[in-house]
Structure 1
Amino acid sequence: MSDKRAVILLSGGLDSATVVAMAKADGFDCYTMSFDYGQRHRAELQAAERVASDMGVIEHKVIGLNLNGIGGSALTDSSIAVPETAGEGIPVTYVPARNTVFLSLALGWAEVLGARDIFIGVNAVDYSGYPDCRPEFVEAFERMANLATKAGVEGQGFTIRAPLQMLSKADIVKAGTRLGVDYALTVSCYQADEQGRACGKCDSCRLRAEGFAAAGVTDPTCYF
């Protein structure tokens, strides 16, 4: 084990699995973190565990939250339907403050571990328009992290790494394929069933399918 440690947010989807592979390729000892936050299905948590095991991370941690307690998203409130067509503006699949909360908890674990790097798989090119996926958000959170922590105040600052930020979904698939990511282990669908099979209709399914097609890579997604 080296002193080069990183905490990586791992949702179980295509993007975050690719980020783990990138961090490993960069020589980091990887500690992955997922969240049981009241999302529609547990299939993504099971996918995250598969990915973490397959990639040999040092430790995989699942944190329980109750974001469905505040609702406001189709991913945490079963009374709000997941849209099957892309609309205008920020979609109802946006989960209020999700990445802010997730990164905050990753920051806490990183400080405990002595890790100085936190990876997140946000993307500002092929994405659904979420405000907490923008470069401005990542930069602002990094500034906050170094103001709000003992490590930051003592000069052992944190870096928030978003290596997929400006990549197309096709570029992400190509990068992960080169690094040996087994995308059959991942789940991207907003409303996958208990077996992890995808709907093939939601925005996340559409972006994933388009990415594989544009990359010229066979999509291993199973659909219901």
Structure 2
Amino acid sequence: MNHAKRAVVLLSGGLDSATCLAIARDMGFETYALSVAYGQRHAAELTASARVAQALGAKEHRLARVNLGQFGGSALTDPGIAVPENEDNGGIPVTYVPARNTVMLSIAMAWAEVLGAQDIFVGVNAVDYSGYPDCRPEFIQAFETMANLATKAGVEGARLHIHAPLIELSKADIIRRGVALGVDYGITVTCYQADDDGRACGRCEACRLRAAGFEAAGIPDPTPYQLRTD
């Protein structure tokens, strides 16, 4: 009997990772969704990740925990640092979380080796993004090289492949691809400061990139937004 190849898909619960999960499924992989509670303040995305995993037919969904928040240094993990709104000061923003993608890919690498999976999918993007250094093609290539040096599977010839299918797509193209694959973006959470019900603020950079993507794609934005009082 032929069995589908397994793949671990990093799933934050946001727009990009949901699209990435749909792409992996469309490629014929049996998907194992991995979400990471890294100490993020916007924990509503973890609730969304469970919805997305179920909706897109993940074989299994795991939640790993590692507290990067204990180090601070990012507006996404440190309550003392405000999330920027409606501004673009250039450079790498304070929403960058030190080592986040390195840590999450390392956890995915560990689970993949246990599963006998040779493929990991991650929804990083280097076009419509915030300039994070760990979203660049160079980082993905370097991590794949490291992974094949660091694992028993890699050393024994079962090479690990890191897939970043969104890395060169615009946000509009990502949305179009997801819609074609049946992604319900209304159940995803992208906002850096979503409320407990997953409603977006509409002002942070993640919200602005998402909204601009729907507008450019010519697709109605299904995002639930918080009521504004200002």
Q: TM-score range, shorter-chain basis? A: over 0.9
Question: What TM-score results when the alignment is normalised by the length of structure 1?
Answer: 0.99
In structure 1, the residue matched to 2:211 is 209
Distance 1:106 1:207 in 2: 26
In structure 1, the residue matched to 2:195 is 193
Give the letter for the 2:11 counterpart: L
- For the 8 Å contact 2:42–2:191, the answer to whether it is kept is no
Distance 1:146 1:210 in 2: 38
Distance 2:195 2:42 in 1: 7
Distance 1:8 1:41 in 2: 20
In structure 1, the residue matched to 2:24 is 23
In structure 1, the residue matched to 2:180 is 178
Can you list the C-alpha shifts for 1:155-185, whole angstroms capped at 9, x where unaligned?
0010000000100000000000000000001
- For the 8 Å contact 2:4–2:28, the answer to whether it is kept is no
In structure 2, the residue matched to 1:79 is 80
Question: What TM-score results when the alignment is normalised by the length of structure 2?
Answer: 0.96
In structure 2, the residue matched to 1:104 is 106
- For the 8 Å contact 2:31–2:58, the answer to whether it is kept is yes
Secondary structure (helix, strand or coil) at the match of 1:6 reads strand
Q: Report the number of matched residues.
A: 224
Unaligned runs of 5+ in 1: none
In structure 2, the residue matched to 1:35 is 36
Distance 2:204 2:90 in 1: 15
Distance 2:142 2:187 in 1: 32
Give the letter for the 1:65 counterpart: V
In structure 1, the residue matched to 2:10 is 9
Displacement, 1:3? Answer: 4.3
Which of 115, 118, 126 is matched with 1:124 structurally? Answer: 126
Give the letter for the 1:133 counterpart: C
Distance 1:39 1:97 in 2: 13
Give the letter for the 1:158 counterpart: L
Displacement, 1:37? Answer: 1.2
Secondary structure (helix, strand or coil) at the match of 1:57 reads coil
Distance 1:86 1:127 in 2: 12
Of the structure 1 ranges 21-30 and 33-42, higher mean CA displacement relative to structure 2 is found in 33-42
Can you list the C-alpha shifts for 1:120-156, whole angstroms capped at 9, x where unaligned?
0000000000000000000000000000000000000
Displacement, 1:87? Answer: 1.5
Give the letter for the 1:143 counterpart: T
Give the letter for the 1:165 counterpart: I
Distance 2:36 2:140 in 1: 19
| Structure 1 residue runs of 4 or more that deviate by more than 4 Å after TM superposition | none
